[in-house]
Chains A and B, each alone.
Chain A
């Protein structure tokens, strides 16, 4: 947030997503989310399961179902508001300037086509190149994501590859057209620990090579500490804290973040650590009118019945809490 504005690749303002169920029930899965991502930097989005991380990223990509999802706010990418863009424009951007990889490497590749075909497809879609050139480039991408013997892997069907290898293929596919922004939605959650570390290392290397901005969505504060420059903490569809990684870990400014850090994992308990905070996430079809964290917050006061704004608490950082800055509360 200290960079010059020219460096901003993606600026999300007041993004809201409401799902309308078949029974007419509305779920506001994302409610006024904002953040910005800078060239060559990595923004982490953290939060418990169901807090709206995936919905946020799908909204940026324009991949939410047309029927049933209402999206509002502003998503400015390279100076263009994506929410106002036509579907055609979005299709031209997706896979080219805007790329995404998903949480489920095992099922995200089409089982009926070879990995080579699937990488070539994105190149042929967005670049006017011959099949031979696309093939060459696809093999080069496989090599860049450190897949051994890429010429042979090229003709493999996804089922022949392990989860880690498939995620590498997804990364190769996402980066094939040199995107300005890569959204990685929990890219390592489904993988085991050593593979996780390799994939993160790979992403870090590729970011340096390509200069792409990255949005990394994760449950894992360990991952955030390792890879990210800035962090957005989400709770129940809202941003509750925004800060640089150093600041966030040194002085968390929202009780929820404090809880997350307090529940920071030992290495043998990697899953579910965010739910180590007592209590459950509010029902998003009927969210509380006050602070959404109130039911679980140890610092709660009367005023918390009113929704706090996301407000600056120190240079370059925001917190959605009436009692921030929290330093005074530390006991």
Chain B
């Protein structure tokens, strides 16, 4: 257990270093000059020069990088050129939104994916199995933007049940918050549910064919107990890992969906930042996302060990 954690932690430093160099480097390859963007219409050379100096854009990239790293290590992610706000504050504002969406999407994905996966494994080869597989495949292959737009058209425009876009914090009004996030959560969860369903199905089939499930039946246990206790406990172990990884991608992968539903989360933050050459924000968001992703990996590993008695010791 400790070795796994320390192994992950030692991976963390070089990974983050690599990621940060990559974003830093790629970003400066992008066409467009942030100072020009900032200066606006007039393009007054004096103003531009001043902005360059203020944000150290006049210095060589490695120097800029070192400066940034020094800031990060002391807990300072820099300042947004556009919004004139510390990046850390922006992250603090937007992360909870994305996190809420990710958690809700994951709940949708797990409930749908695990339930359908178990059903199709139990009824394998029969009509229900085929049906679930078709639905699952459709879920994976439906583009998020299309599903999102269709849901807006149907539930918001046609039926008027849900708001088409916008976001309300659960601390203000949790009902309204749920109403604004349920559609994007379904869209995001749906695409992951298909993957989770397939993994659950194959893991469950393997578990249901196992000798210990035969033993459970030989004990006279009910089918429910055989499936949901004996088989599922073993089958869900790999699904946990998958879930944690998918959760990581939700943090960064919701760009399009957040855009469609106008959810002011990480996705929107980063898109705006990229278009405005707001380097510090892009770097900050990517860094936080990468760190979270790696931390989730670690949590998945720990979870895997905890549910797997052979690895505990």
Q: How far is the CB of B1 from chain A (nearest CB, A)?
A: 15
Mark the stretch among B48-56, B57-65, B95-103, B211-219 that contacts chain A: B211-219
Query: What does the 1/0 interface line of B195-237 toward A look like (CB < 8 Å)?
Result: 0000000000000001110111111111000000010011000
Known: A63-B218, A94-B217. A107 touches B210 (CB 8 A): yes
Residue of A99, A104, A113 near B218 (CB, 8 A) is A99
Q: Which residues of A sit under 8 angstroms from B216, Cβ to Cβ?
A: 110
A90, B151: Cα distance in complex, Å: 49
Contacts A111-B234, A111-B309, A112-B307 given; indicate if A92 touches B220 (C-beta within 8 A). yes
Whether B84 sits at the interface, judged by CB under 8 Å, is no
Chain A residue numbers with a CB within 8 Å of B92 are none
- Contact A110-B212, Cβ < 8 Å, known A61-B218, A96-B220, A122-B220: yes
| Residues in A99-125 with C-beta less than 8 Å from chain B | 99-100, 102, 104, 107-114, 121-122, 125
- Residues of A within 8 Å of B210, CB to CB, are 107
Annotate B236-250 by CB proximity to A: 1 below 8 A, 0 otherwise: 000000000000000
Flag if B234 contacts A112 (CB, 8 Å).
yes
Residue-wise, chain A 46-88 has the 8 Å CB interface mask toward B (1 for contact) of 0000000000000001010001000000000000000000000
The one of B218, B307, B308 in contact with A100, judged by C-beta atoms closer than 8 angstroms, is B218
- The reply on A252 being an interface residue by CB < 8 A is no
Given contacts A102-B211, A108-B212, A109-B212, contact A173 B233 (CB under 8 A): no
In the bound complex, residues from chain B placing their C-beta under 8 Å from that of A67 are: 125-126
Contact of B212 among A63, A111, A157 (CB under 8 A): A111
A34 within 8 A of B: no
Asked if A143 is at the interface of the complex by the 8 Å CB criterion, the answer is no
- Known contacts: A109-B212, A112-B233. The answer to whether A159 contacts B310 by CB under 8 A is yes
In the bound complex, do residue A173 and residue B212 qualify as a contact, i.e. CB atoms below 8 Å apart? no
Task: Point out which of B217, B219, B222 has the most chain A C-beta atoms below 10 A from its C-beta.
Answer: B219
Query: Complex: how many Å from CA A111 to CA B308?
Result: 8
From the candidates A96, A102, A125, name the one contacting B214 in the complex (CB within 8 A): A102
Which B residue's beta carbon lies closest to that of A90?
B220
Asked if B211 and A108 sit within 8 Å, CB to CB, the answer is yes
Is A234 an interface position by the 8 A CB rule?
no
A93 interfacial by beta-carbon distance below 8 Å:
yes
Query: In chain B, what residue has the closest Cβ to A105?
Result: B211
Q: Given the known A-B contacts A108-B211, A111-B212, A170-B215, are A159 and B220 also in contact in the complex, defined by CB atoms under 8 Å?
A: no
Given contacts A107-B211, A111-B309, contact A125 B218 (CB under 8 A): no
Q: How many residues of A contact B (CB 8 A)?
A: 32
User: In the bound complex, what is the Cα–Cα distance between A74 and B147 (angstroms)?
Assistant: 57
Residues of A within 8 A of B234 (CB): 110-112
Q: How large is the interface on B (under 10, 10 to 19, 20 to 34, 35 or more residues)?
A: 20 to 34
Whether a CB of chain B sits under 8 angstroms from the CB of A164 is: no
Interface residues of B in 121-146 (CB under 8 A from A): 125-126
Q: How far is the CB of A68 from chain B (nearest CB, A)?
A: 9
With A63-B214, A107-B212, A112-B233 already in contact, the answer to whether A95 and B307 are too (CB < 8 A) is no
| Distance of A170 Cα from B215 Cα, bound (Å) | 9
Answer yes or no: A91 CB below 8 A from chain B CBs. Answer: yes
- Structural contact, B221 and A110, CB atoms closer than 8 A: no
Q: Which residues of A sit under 8 angstroms from B310, Cβ to Cβ?
A: 111, 157, 159
The smallest C-beta distance from B109 to any residue of chain A, in angstroms, reads: 23
In the complex, which residues 158-178 of chain A have their Cβ closer than 8 Å to any Cβ of chain B? 159, 170, 173-174
> What sequence of 0s and 1s flags, for each residue 247-280 of chain B, a beta carbon within 8 Å of any chain A beta carbon?
0000000000000000000000000000000000
Evaluate whether A108 and B215 lie within 8 angstroms (CB atoms) in the complex, with A96-B220, A122-B220 already known. Answer: yes
Whether A91 touches B221, Cβ cut-off 8 Å, given contacts A110-B234, A112-B233, A159-B309, is: yes
CB contact under 8 A between A95 and B220, given known A102-B214, A107-B211, A107-B212? yes
Asked if B220 contacts A125 (CB within 8 A), the reply is yes
Tell me if A173 and B309 are in contact (CB < 8 A): no
List chain A residues, Cβ under 8 A from B212.
Answer: 107-111
A99 — which chain B residues lie within 8 A by C-beta? 218
Chain B residue at minimal CB-CB distance from A22: B125
Shortest CB-to-CB span from A209 to chain B, Å, is: 21
* List of A residues within 8 angstroms of B221 by Cβ: 91, 95, 121, 125
Expressed in whole angstroms, the Cα–Cα distance for A109 and B210 within the complex equals 10
Known: A110-B230, A157-B309. A95 touches B219 (CB 8 A): yes
A17 to chain B, nearest CB (A): 16
Residues of A within 8 A of B125 (CB): 22, 67
Chain A hits for B307, CB < 8 A: 112
Given A111-B234, A111-B309, A157-B309: A126 and B214 within 8 A (CB)? no
Contact, CB under 8 Å: B219 / A125: yes
The answer to whether B309 and A112 have CB atoms under 8 Å apart is: yes
A173 with B219: in contact, given A110-B230, A112-B234, A159-B310 (CB under 8 Å)?
Answer: yes
6 contacts between A and B (CB under 8 A): A94-B217, A109-B215, A110-B215, A111-B212, A111-B310, A121-B219
Residues of B within 8 A of A (CB): 125-126, 210-212, 214-222, 230, 233-234, 307-310
User: Which 10 residue pairs of A and B lie closest in terms of their CB atoms, listed nearest first?
Assistant: A95-B220, A95-B219, A94-B220, A157-B309, A107-B211, A110-B212, A112-B233, A122-B219, A108-B211, A159-B310
Question: Contacts A121-B221, A125-B220 given; 15 further ones with Cβ under 8 A?
Answer: A61-B218, A94-B219, A102-B211, A102-B215, A102-B218, A104-B211, A108-B212, A111-B310, A112-B307, A112-B309, A122-B219, A125-B219, A126-B220, A157-B310, A170-B215
